[in-house]
Structures are given as structure tokens and as C-alpha cells.
């Protein structure tokens, strides 16, 4: 599972260590990674040091990794970083220049002896880095957008209550495209980190009403509209009798939820200022 290996990044940035060559590096999208200890929270934490370099022009995929108090990204755009740090889809960024989506960076950042006490503190670390190094400033607004809505199906949820740390980070990762394992995740984290920012082409609104943290697996056959944010191209659908169903059917049959398309008034981030990163 990628969530188990993504804390070790190949120095050549081809794929996370331990991942088969046939599985593209684009799977290492999870911030809920292994080897993260919990410490007392700081109100406004900052990375002690951060290095930002342009990615290699021929780099494939993208990824995030963590080990102890060191955090890395490779081949990630500023839009990717904003999406994680603020829990939004790139389509919720309004007024951003083209380079925010197209220019890619490798980032190595390190805390000053402590590591994040939870996902929210980790997000604040990245928010502060983006503000300091990319001079990002924005304001919130509302706009009607095409979205997917995640709800509980009539059958009721088919999920297992997690026995993990209720204040801890989730582990969410893929063995391959369409083979997902989730541990210790809220429905919001599943909707936001996986469905919205990794798999689907539009924002996802969590309306399940399910509190707490959950463990589950999901297996489906992706179509060519999915994983586009990773630069991945899906193979043709299999005609095999034992091929997994499509995502919408799999979500309903396997975990008792349903994913529906629609339009909704959605929070957007209107960019007031952004600049290419300052020198290291």
C-alpha cells in the first residue's frame, strides 16, 4: 500500500521506495503517512527550513512524503499545495495565473525538532510556507460550481470504525489505480484528499453526516476522466467478468455510500497576490 511506503522517497524521484515499477509514482498523494509522532500542538507552527527547487522537466506524476520531522514533495504545482493546505479543488482557485497550475516544484521542509500533532497542524505548516515563500494572499467568496456530493446510500454505510488514534493522521493510499485502502480517516478526509484532490475532476462535498474515523477498502475500474490531476492515463476498460465495477457502483456496493453529480454554491479562493517562490 502506498500509504505504507510513501514516507520514503526515491532520491531520483521516480517512485516511492518499495513501489513496483509498474505502479506509477503518482500514487504517493497522502499526507497521513507512517513514522509521524504526536507532540504538543503549536498555535502557529512554521517549518524551520524549506528548500524549493523546480522539478525535472521530464518528471512523471507527483507525490508527497513524510519521515519524522522531514517532509517532501516532488513534481507538485502550487495549485497542488494550496489544494492540500486549504482543502479545496484546483477549480476552486479563482484568478490564479497559469504558472500556479503548470510549474512544478520539489520541496524539502523540516520542522525544528517537533512534528505535527495532527492533520490540522500539518496543514498550517504548509499554509505558512506558501504565504512566506510564494507570497500568497487571497480572500474567500462563493460561486456555483459543478460538484460531486457524497451521501449515505439507502443500504446504510458499510464501514468499520477505526481503532486508530482519534487525533492522528489518516493513512490513505493505492496499491494501484482503483485499488484503495483507507485507515483512520474521516469522511471529510476521504472526500477531500482522495476523491476530490486525487481521483475526480471537480470538488466533492461530504454530506454523509458520518462522524468519527473509519477503515475500509475500495476497488473499482477507473475511467479516462479519473486521476487526471496526476497526469495519468487510464488503460482501456477490461471486459473480464471479474473486473471491478466503476467508481460510482463500487462506492455504493462496497462501502454503502453514493456519489452523485450536481451543482452547488461552493466556497472559492480568489487570488489577490501570488509570486514565484523566493530564493532558498
Out of 8-12, 145-149, 223-227, give the one with best mean pLDDT: 145-149
Alpha-carbon dihedral angle through residues 234, 96, 59, 169, given to the nearest 10 degrees: -80
Does residue 177 contact residue 232 with C-beta atoms inside 8 Å?
A: yes
Q: How confident is the model at residue 64 (pLDDT cuts 50, 70, 90)?
A: confident
Of the given ranges (55-64, 111-120, 132-141, 221-230), which has the lowest mean pLDDT?
A: 111-120
CB-based burial label for 145 (10 Å; 0-12, 13-18, 19+): middle
More confident residue, 8 or 74: 74
DSSP class of residue 166 equals T
Residue-level pLDDT at 172: 84
Q: How confident is the model at residue 241 (pLDDT cuts 50, 70, 90)?
A: confident
Query: Structure pTM?
Result: 0.73
Q: How far apart are CA 97 and CA 84, in angstroms?
A: 19
pLDDT above 80: residue 28: no
Residue-level pLDDT at 29: 42
Q: From residue 31, give the alpha-carbon distance in Å to each of 26, 188, 207.
A: 13, 14, 23
Does residue 189 contact residue 211 with C-beta atoms inside 8 Å?
A: no
Residues 6+ apart with CB under 8 A from 155: 252, 256
In which element (H, E) is residue 163 found? none
Of the given ranges (39-43, 51-55, 179-183), which has the lowest mean pLDDT?
A: 39-43
Q: Which residues pair with 150 in a beta bridge?
A: 206, 259
Q: What is the mean pLDDT of residues 181-201?
A: 92
Of the given ranges (16-30, 84-98, 107-121, 155-169), which has the lowest mean pLDDT?
A: 16-30
Q: How far apart are CA 236 and CA 54, in angstroms?
A: 33
- Provide the grid cell at 116: 505535527
Q: How far apart are CA 205 and CA 116, in angstroms?
A: 26
pLDDT above 60: residue 22: no
Mean pLDDT of the chain: 82
Does residue 261 contact residue 204 with C-beta atoms inside 8 Å?
A: no
Residue-level pLDDT at 31: 39
Give the sheet arrangement for strand 63-67, strand by strand. Answer: 49-54, 104-110, 70-77, 63-67
Q: How far apart are CA 12 and CA 104, in angstroms?
A: 16
Residues 6+ apart with CB under 8 A from 163: none
Amino acid at each position: 500500500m502506498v500509504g505504507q511506503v510513501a514516507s520514503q522517497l526515491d532520491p531520483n524521484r521516480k517512485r516511492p521506495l518499495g513501489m513496483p515499477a509498474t505502479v506509477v509514482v503518482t500514487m504517493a498523494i497522502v499526507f497521513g503517512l507512517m513514522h509521524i509522532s504526536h507532540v504538543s500542538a503549536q498555535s502557529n507552527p512554521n517549518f524551520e527550513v524549506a528548500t524549493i527547487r523546480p522539478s525535472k522537466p521530464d518528471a512523471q506524476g507527483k507525490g508527497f512524503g513524510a519521515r519524522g520531522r522531514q517532509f517532501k514533495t516532488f513534481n507538485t504545482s502550487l495549485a497542488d499545495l494550496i489544494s492540500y493546505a486549504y482543502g479545496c479543488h484546483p477549480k476552486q482557485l479563482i484568478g490564479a495565473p497559469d504558472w500556479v497550475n503548470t510549474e512544478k516544484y520539489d520541496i524539502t521542509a523540516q520542522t525544528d525538532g517537533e512534528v505535527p500533532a495532527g492533520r490540522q497542524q500539518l496543514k498550517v505548516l504548509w499554509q505558512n510556507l506558501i504565504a512566506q515563500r510564494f507570497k500568497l494572499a487571497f480572500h474567500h467568496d462563493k460561486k456555483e460550481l459543478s460538484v460531486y456530493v457524497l451521501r449515505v446510500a439507502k443500504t446504510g454505510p458499510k464501514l468499520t470504525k477505526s481503532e486508530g488514534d482519534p487525533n492522528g493522521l489518516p493513512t490513505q493510499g493505492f496499491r494501484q489505480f482503483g485499488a484503495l485502502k483507507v485507515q483512520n480517516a474521516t469522511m471529510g478526509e476521504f472526500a477531500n484528499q482522495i476523491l476530490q484532490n486525487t481521483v475526480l475532476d471537480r470538488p466533492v462535498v461530504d454530506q454523509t453526516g458520518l462522524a468519527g474515523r473509519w477503515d475500509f477498502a475500495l476497488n473499482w475500474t477507473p475511467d479516462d476522466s479519473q486521476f487526471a490531476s496526476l497526469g495519468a492515463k487510464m488503460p482501456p476498460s477490461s471486459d473480464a467478468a471479474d473486473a471491478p465495477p466503476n467508481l460510482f457502483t463500487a462506492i455504493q456496493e462496497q462501502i454503502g455510500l453514493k456519489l452523485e453529480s450536481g451543482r452547488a454554491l461552493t466556497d472559492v479562493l480568489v487570488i489577490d497576490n501570488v509570486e514565484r517562490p523566493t530564493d532558498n
